[in-house]
A and B are shown apart, each in its own frame.
Chain A
């Protein structure tokens, strides 16, 4: 009996130690951001993705031609569609992944994000910034409605497991390279991370087959 208790006791110590080590590892890595880049599986366009224990944010280039086509087919004039298409669009996917670790809401406000291009700092071009332009240009209400909902919201709270897609605009010329400081709030803390060397898609008209195999 004593040997059984001793063996059980030893096993439990090992198990407990493993748990403690795992917990310490998790605690240590909980707030470290990882950056990955590569080519998106579906669009074959470059992406930049950051992940932390409770969030994931991915930017995928949008070629100006894709953006032109999208907005031309939704009632925008050629001139306006051109303006939108050459304003550096990215498909943006933000996810609250905290349901996998410790569930907690995730908040962000795009006004706090900083774009650095050739040493100059600026903000992103938000729904509200665009809306002022459309009001002046007398764009149809239906086109404005689509435009609004196609963009990433300016402020948002994501509950655990919430995620969303939308376009984001950086108001730079096609092909520009910039750094982006991303700011978000989670676990009663403000987090930030600078993604370096993001590139706006160049204004090219690629042949789909060649492009896929590049």
Chain B
């Protein structure tokens, strides 16, 4: 028994180690919502005049981000979001970053500083953000191909992190 005890402890140690590893792995993962909900529909114009309608993206995974140019953590995640976009566009995953409360000129100036190529529709009067349970910027929702909001991230993420991209790709299956 005396000799078996260390082996038992080793098994515990391995289990503990695995749990720690799993926790490290979860750093960039998106957490599922306890109560997924149907994504409220919207139709907004982009700064270039393009009309964006959420339902047009049914069948794809949608990364729906709410942001503003004056919000430091929003700016922080934009470059990684653009890098992610370059990897995932045309692969069934779309990024829509809804700007809250600002106009074309402000967004145009921002994209001069932070070149992004994914859609930036403008929620000038805040009507769309009201439809979602957002309490702080940035907040990002993941919408399944069926139009269900399944995950949420508050604050910036490294959107081009391989774990996070794998998680998004798996949502397509």
Docked-complex contact A146 and B3, CB < 8 angstroms? no
A37 at the B interface (CB under 8 A)? no
A174 at the B interface (CB under 8 A)? no
Docked-complex contact B26 and A165, CB < 8 angstroms? no
**Bound: A209/B156 CA distance, A:** 31
Chain B residues in 8 Å Cβ range of A31: none
A177 at the B interface (CB under 8 A)? no
Docked-complex contact B68 and A149, CB < 8 angstroms? yes
A-B contact count (CB 8 A): 94
Task: A16-B6, A159-B152 are known; give 8 further A-B pairs, CB within 8 A.
Answer: A15-B9, A102-B23, A149-B136, A152-B136, A153-B135, A155-B135, A159-B154, A165-B73
Chain A residues in 8 Å Cβ range of B125: 141-142, 145
* Interface of B: prevailing SS: mixed
**Bound: A19/B16 CA distance, A:** 9
Docked-complex contact A103 and B68, CB < 8 angstroms? no
Of A16, A99, A145, A164, the residue contacting B27 (CB under 8 A) is A99
**Bound: A163/B101 CA distance, A:** 22
Docked-complex contact A146 and B154, CB < 8 angstroms? no
B148 at the A interface (CB under 8 A)? no
Of A9, A102, A153, the residue contacting B3 (CB under 8 A) is A9
**Bound: A149/B68 CA distance, A:** 9
Measuring CB to CB, which residues of chain B are less than 8 angstroms from any residue of chain A? 2-3, 6-7, 9-10, 12-13, 16, 23, 26-28, 31, 68, 70-73, 100-101, 124-126, 135-137, 152-157
Docked-complex contact A16 and B13, CB < 8 angstroms? yes
Docked-complex contact B126 and A16, CB < 8 angstroms? no
A64 at the B interface (CB under 8 A)? no
Within 8 A of B (CB), among A72-124: 74, 95, 99-103
| In the complex, the 4 A-B pairs of residues with the closest C-beta atoms, listed nearest first | A12-B6, A16-B9, A153-B135, A162-B154
Residue of A nearest to B19 (CB): A102
Residue of A nearest to B74 (CB): A165
Residue of B nearest to A151 (CB): B136
Residue of B nearest to A16 (CB): B9
Q: How far is the CB of B140 from chain A (nearest CB, A)?
A: 10
Docked-complex contact A160 and B31, CB < 8 angstroms? yes
Docked-complex contact A12 and B7, CB < 8 angstroms? yes
Chain A residues in 8 Å Cβ range of B26: 99, 103, 160-161
Chain A residues in 8 Å Cβ range of B2: 9
